[in-house]
Amino acid sequence: MSKRPPVVHKLPSTITPNFKTKKAYFLIILITFLFLAYGAPAHTTPNAATYYVAPNGNDNNSGAIGSPWRHISYAVNNNIVKPGDIVYIRGGMYREYINQKVSGAPGNPITYQNYPGETPIITNGGSSGSWRWLILDQSYIHIKGMTFKNYQNGAIQVRTRYKNVSNVEIIGCTFENQTSTNDERAVQITSFTSGYVVSNIVIQNNNFINIDSGMGPVLQTDGDVHNSKIIDNTIITASNIGIGIACRPDKGQADNLLIKGNNVSDHGSPGKTSAGIYLDGAGNNIVIEENIVHNGIQGIKVALEPAAATMVTSHIIVRRNILYNNSQINLKLGAGETCNRSGELKESVAVHNTIFSSINNMTNVYFDCGQDLRWKNNIFVHFGPNGGFQYQLPKGNVNTSTWVMDNNWFLNGSGEIDHYKWNGKRYDTLGRFQAVIGQDINSNEGDPQFVDSGNFVFQLEPNSPARDANAPLTRTRSSGAGTVIPVDEAWYFSDGLGLQEGDLIRVGGLSPVRITAVDYTTVKSR
């Protein structure tokens, strides 16, 4: 009798699902102790200088603390500020258009930040440019602690025209009370490519409050953007999409992105289908995790619209997010409007998410075209008193034969029927859906016992029946060799993309190990 292969757990997890492979396996490279060297250590310029800008300054001054410059636009254009320097912006109002004309250098960025304890406010004024701060063909620029308030159109654009751009960080800034002109696109922070590449962008710990971005998202990467992260931002009350990853054939595709820890709420407006986080035509290797998206139009959406019909999106991981009370859809994982007009979404997963609804006529999960998609280990709660669905797959030509949906936990709490609408037909119970469709065979129904769902606290009680209730994510194909372990499917796992540590997993009863590389290459086996 052959020995049963060990299981592979993803840690930490609330519910660990079972998985039965169909035809492919992949290699995960595991190294327990590893020194990672990402190039030589950064060396700060030993004679780096500090300069100051203040509302009572003068651009003919030296820039010293007692002799500050008057304009931020002067500080970003003069030949005095060098790589490694810091420019402190004193509190007060700055009515100007800022066009960045100098770059930092590897290990020595130029930093522009608020003077400690003070609030510099950039608002309308000066040139009528569409952007308060334009970073065109400049790299190694850090903007920290600035406030953009009571202004029109966009705030910061990072853009290529004649060369690649890299290492721009926007951290701890506030964007408040912004309006668009004639409902035009008024993205607050965008990374925009035009024939060149943008990489190593960090958008972190920023607050966006009362934003009218017109036809565009609040935050957007547009085109050939790589190795970048959008993390720990808060977006409250936005007229359209919160975070958008938009790619088209003429601009290239984004890959190796981390979208993590963002809180998006009250987004979208009547007549729009705005998502809190929206991937449209994105490339490969994108992790969307630990975000909270609520009380908007739609939650998280991964798709390819007809304009991206020639493109392929793959290896998207949507995990450990909390999505609740978005009025149309909480989660959508599917290519687009119709399968013959959309691009291809494949080998992507939604696992360990908590999805909750207590409002009328909405859908927790909306499905669309895709190949080898996985929905596992999620908790779905639907309390909508007047209709709505846990699942909705529209009637059409969607091929679901390569999908796996299993080991999810459901609570249908409204007392209504028809919680599952699949290919135009309604199923009033999970049991009926399982019997007819053949999905979610090992999924369960019942109260998951949240700590306080009335106040949207979705941690599980210690004795919750949903805690550690099911089987592991996948299984090994063989014992492997050295640090290489072959598993049935590796789509659930990330090596951190060079943006954070790789996942911790446990193989069988062994101690957890860190994933340092994932090989998604398909090896056909029958």
CA 487 to chain CA centroid, nearest Å: 26
> Can you list the positions of beta strands (E) in 74-153?
86-89, 92-95, 98-100, 110-114, 120-123, 131-136, 141-144, 147-152
Cβ-based neighbours of 400, under 8 Å, separated by 6 or more:
367, 393, 439
Token pair of 479, please? 């014992």
CA dihedral 249, 255, 258, 262 (to 10 degrees): 0
Arithmetic mean of pLDDT, 511-525? 76
Query: Over the stretch 132-156, which tens digit does the pLDDT of each residue have?
Result: 999 999 999 999 999 999 988 899 9
Query: Over the stretch 320-351, which tens digit does the pLDDT of each residue have?
Result: 999 999 999 999 998 876 777 788 999 999 99
How would residue 183 be classed by pLDDT, with cut points 50, 70 and 90?
A: low
Q: What is the rounded CA–CA span in Å between residue 120 and residue 101?
A: 21
Q: What's 502's DSSP letter? A: P
Residue 87's nearest CA partner among 451, 70, 164, 386 is 70
pLDDT of residue 8: 56
pLDDT of residue 184: 72
pLDDT of residue 21: 33
Tell which wins on pLDDT, 28 or 430: 430
Q: What is the rounded CA–CA span in Å between residue 166 and residue 184?
A: 27
Mean pLDDT (the chain) is 86
How would residue 315 be classed by pLDDT, with cut points 50, 70 and 90?
A: very high
Arithmetic mean of pLDDT, 374-403? 86
pLDDT of residue 320: 96
pTM of the predicted structure, to 2 decimals: 0.91
Number of C-beta neighbours around residue 389 at 10 A: 25
Give the pairing type, strands 425-427 and 420-422: antiparallel
Whether residue 220 has pLDDT greater than 90: yes
Q: What's 108's DSSP letter? A: B
How would residue 288 be classed by pLDDT, with cut points 50, 70 and 90?
A: very high
Q: Point out which residues pair with 33 in neighbouring strands.
A: none
Q: What's 146's DSSP letter? A: -
347 exposure class (CB count in 10 Å sphere: 0-12, 13-18, 19+): buried
pLDDT of residue 506: 83
pLDDT of residue 270: 81
Token pair of 158, please? 């990072």
Number of DSSP helices (H) and strands (E) in the chain, helices first: 2, 47
Query: Over the stretch 460-511, which tens digit does the pLDDT of each residue have?
Result: 999 999 988 766 778 888 776 778 888 888 999 999 999 999 999 888 788 8
Query: Over the stretch 224-282, which tens digit does the pLDDT of each residue have?
Result: 999 999 999 999 999 999 999 999 998 999 999 999 999 999 999 888 889 999 999 99
Q: What is the rounded CA–CA span in Å between residue 124 and residue 155?
A: 10
CB 111 within 8 A of CB 75: no
The reply to whether omega before 109 is within 30° of 0 (cis) is no
Query: Over the stretch 472-481, which tens digit does the pLDDT of each residue have?
Result: 778 888 776 7
Cβ-based neighbours of 435, under 8 Å, separated by 6 or more:
none
Largest CA distance in the chain: 86
pLDDT of residue 17: 33
User: Any alpha helices (H) in 291-440, and if so which ranges?
Assistant: 430-437
How would residue 419 be classed by pLDDT, with cut points 50, 70 and 90?
A: confident
